[in-house]
Structure 1
Amino acid sequence: MNLKFEKHDDILIITFIGELDHHSAEEVRVKIDDRIDRDNIEKVILNFSGVSFMDSSGIGVVVGRHKKISNKGGSLCIAKVSGNVNKVFELTGLYKVIKNYNTVDEAVRCI
């Protein structure tokens, strides 16, 4: 799993590339938390356009980052989810808790 970090004004956009599973979840969590804490980020967009597979560990990463940002009074959303990863989000009910956008640009305008 590779992560690409990009700042757009006060928003941190994180692009995931690869598989977000039990093999990569801890490293992903640490890298994201480090960046959020270091730059005092309160708005995060998770771009899932490059994710080919996600398991329950990936869900834990997303939920944990949502909770971390919410506790700071900020907001987190996801964008560009497709295929099997979309099914995982639907089946777990995460779309009821975390806003989903079709594009990163749409998420930037709405967050």
Structure 2
Amino acid sequence: MAVTCTGEGRVLRAALSGEVDHHGARAIMEELNRQIDLELPRELTIDLEGVTFMDSSGIAVLLRAWRRVGELGGSVQVVNVPAQAAKVLKTAGLDKLMKFA
């Protein structure tokens, strides 16, 4: 699992790769929180192109990021969602809280 973040002008992009499961979710959340605290983004894009597997822990990761960015008055967009991860996230209704592209 890896998180690569780039940010500029209160716009943050976080690319996740590997498995997003109960083993790595805490580290992902900690890194996302750290980056959000540094950048204070109005827009957060989470790129899941490199994700090979996601369980329900991925729901918690995205919800926590969405909640934190929402506290800053910002929005979250999720892009390049693999089919398996899309099933997990959409079944939980996350597509009603944030934009999936």
What is the TM-score normalised by the length of structure 1? 0.85
The CA deviation at 1:11 is 1.2
The CA deviation at 1:8 is 4.9
The CA deviation at 1:2 is 0.7
The more displaced of 33-42 and 15-24 is 33-42
**Counterpart residue number, 1:83:** 83
Cα distance in 2 for partners of 1:2, 1:21 equals 12
**Counterpart residue number, 2:74:** 74
The question of 1:36 aligning with 2:36 is answered yes
The question of 1:20 aligning with 2:17 is answered no
Cα distance in 2 for partners of 1:71, 1:10 equals 14
Number of matched pairs: 101
The question of 1:59 aligning with 2:67 is answered no
**Counterpart residue number, 1:6:** 6
What is the TM-score normalised by the length of structure 2? 0.92
The runs of 5 or more residues in structure 2 that have no matched partner are none
What are the Cα deviations for residues 11-67 of structure 1, in whole angstroms up to 9, with x where unaligned? 111000100110001111111101111222231000010111111111101001101
* Percentage of matched positions with identical amino acids: 30
Cα distance in 2 for partners of 1:76, 1:83 equals 19
Q: Which amino acid aligns with 1:64?
A: R
Cα distance in 2 for partners of 1:37, 1:55 equals 26
The question of 1:48 aligning with 2:48 is answered yes
Moved over 4 A (4+): none
The runs of 5 or more residues in structure 1 that have no matched partner are 102-111
